[in-house]
Structure 1
Amino acid sequence: MKHALNPPRLTLTATLIALTGGLATSAHAADASAPRDVAPVAIQWQSVGDDVLAQQTGKGAGGQMISGFVLNVLSQWQLPNGANALAQGTLSVATNAANALTASVSTLASVTDGRGNTGANPGAQVNGGQSISVNGVSQITQVAGDRNAGFNTATIDFNNNPQLLTGGTNAQSASASNGAGNIKAGISFGNGGVTIALQTPAGLASQTIAPSNAQQAGAIAQLLQIAGNNQQVANQLQLSLQTAPMSSGMLRQAGVLQALQNAINARR
């Protein structure tokens, strides 16, 4: 099922995720008896002024450079008793023959029940992460327990042949739960954003892309809260930007423009 989306919404989605630039945080908990935040790995950055950014093109789908994008989001939780929760989704945007942007969405949610000890620790406390509000990108990992592995990853690349997540259906939302109702997985595209969440006896994992409005700027949030032992959890977000090839005429025009700009700057 394809949905026509207006360019501002697509530009917002691409711009928000482009803020990640390939961020990643991870935690391997051993002998952790209290919640703790894991510091993100160091990233390098360079300040760019508004005068430079104002001259850039291709900042989102529909620009002179970006012809479309594929957004993949996936969250998965594996419990030590064999239970598994998975939620994933793909938003694919492309330029059609009429030079208009079209979008297709695919979602999948599944839960597999397990047997025996879930590894959950009812006495452990991991909270507070949901109440943190950040404009831009946030990756939060809170762990209380032993031998846990949790990862928040967000990447962006330029790939004209991106890989779409398989197995989903052409629906804007999907959800699943086990028979006892204590393991749940869900994902939803809507209102210009994305929400994905997993709930298990040993904690929760979530990813949110929220568009900007009059009150606040847009945000991307990845959250892991693990209260138990031997849990394996991952939040993954990948944005593949597709670029339109430049014709020889466009290359010549760009070269002439650059030469004129250099000549003007040389006279100053």
Structure 2
Amino acid sequence: MKRLSQLGLAICTIMCGLTSSAYASQSAGLPPVPEFLASRDIDSAAIKVQMVDDEVLANQTGKYAGGTMISGFVLNVISQWQLPNGANALAQGTLTAVQNAAGQLASTVNTLARVTDGGFGNAGANSGANPNAQASGGQSISVNGVSQVTQVAGDRNIGANSALIDFNNNAVSPASTANAPSAAAGNSAGSIKAGISFGSNGVSVALQTPAGLATQTITTSNGQIAQLLQIAGNNQQVANQLQLHLQTQQMSAAMIRQLGVLQALQNGRR
């Protein structure tokens, strides 16, 4: 698990807090919002962007969390898809790493994949899928950083991509001592599949249904975190969620003194 221990630290350098959502054709006929999306505001206003010129950006300052400040982390990823006939697919996993007395990271990983057919015993019946609708092209998008893509072809769909990073000083405890780096599940007809895998090169999550697919990938080799929703149907409810909780250690007295000296020198130049 040594390579997995480095995964979260690699994510820290490319991760930022982002949220994107798509709510298609809202109407009185919208199906009930499932529990995993109930906390989201389905009527929230669209994200607004304000253009900033280079002169403004040049004067901005920020804070950098050095690698030595990170003493542990918990990475949670979950993808869930609910079809209108009651069928659903779920893939989730947790990677936990803590620093031992020798200063080394010890990690554990746990995964779960589950698929449930609809009440009709056939995921294809009343699944809301539209064979004439197409949602494609998102797989070819490649960025250095975080990308969130939602492609929808249909009505009364709810789709959400969310990625969050936070820092805290609370101790991180492994979820369990067992390690399960991958999991997969599917229905008897093979029309719904769910899978998740943690490896030395990153993380891969994928849901496949008659109405589309949902994926999350973390590729440490090129510094990419990608969330993709492709919905080709009606009354689908889908969510990709990624959370990275970083444990930061307290600054030493020597570090505090160094920062104080640095600040004094900077003030003396003004």
TM-score using structure 1 length: 0.79
Shift of 1:167: 10
Identity across matched positions, percent: 62
Corresponding residue pairs, total: 243
Alignment equivalent of 2:47, drawn from 27, 41, 50: 41
Distance 1:144 1:72, change over 3 A: same
Aligned to 1:254: 259
Deviation of the 1:159 alpha carbon: 2.8
Displacement of 1:68 in angstroms is 1.7
Matched, 1:22 2:17: yes
Identify the residue that residue 110 of structure 2 maps to in structure 1. Answer: 106
Q: CA deviation at 1:253?
A: 3.5
CA displacement at 1:42 relative to structure 2: 3.6
Question: Secondary structure at the residue paired with 2:191?
Answer: coil
* Matching residue of 2:197: 188
Q: What is the identity, as a one-letter code, of the residue corresponding to 2:69? A: M
Please, what is the CA RMSD of the aligned residues?
3.1
Measure, in 1, the Cα distance between the counterparts of 2:137 and 2:180: 32
In the aligned structure 2, how far is the partner of 1:178 from the partner of 1:6?
A: 30
Structure 2 partner of 1:75: 79
Deviation string, structure 1 residues 34-56 (Cα, Å, up to 9, x no partner): xxxxxx8346798877xx78xx7
Q: C-alpha separation between the residues in 1 aligned to 2:185 and 2:225? A: 24
The residue identity in structure 2 corresponding to 1:99 is: G
Q: Distance in 2 between matches of 1:247 and 1:105?
A: 31
Aligned pair 1:233/2:238, yes or no? yes
Q: 1:152 aligns with which of 148, 152, 161?
A: 161
Query: Of 9, 12, 21, which residue of structure 2 is paired with 1:11?
Result: 9
| C-alpha deviation, 1:30, in angstroms | 1.7
Equivalent-residue separation in structure 1 for 2:25 and 2:176 (angstroms):
35
CA distance in 2, matches of 1:182, 1:5: 34
How much does 1:220 deviate? 1.0
Q: Give 3-state SS (helix, strand or coil) of 2:3's partner.
A: coil
Counterpart residue identity of residue 121, structure 1: N
Change (3 A) 1:41 1:124: same
Per-residue deviation, residues 208-227 of structure 1 (Å, max 9, x unmatched)? 11123xxxx32111100001
8 Å Cα contact 2:95/2:110 also seen in 1: yes
Q: 2:213 maps to which residue?
A: 204
Distance in structure 1 (CA, Å) of the matches to 2:177 and 2:138: 29
The question of whether the paired residues in 1 share the 8 Å contact of 2:8 and 2:73 is answered with: no
**Mapped contact 2:203–2:219 kept (Cα < 8 A):** yes
SS at match of 1:170: coil
Change (3 A) 1:237 1:181: same
SS at match of 1:123: coil
Q: Verify the 8 A CA contact 2:108 2:177 in the aligned structure 1.
A: no
Q: Is it true that 1:174 corresponds to 2:188 in the alignment?
A: no
Letter in 1 for 2:25: A
Q: Compare 156-165 and 174-183 and name the one that shifted more.
A: 156-165
Specify every segment of 5 or more residues in structure 1 that has no aligned partner in the other structure, as ranges: 32-39
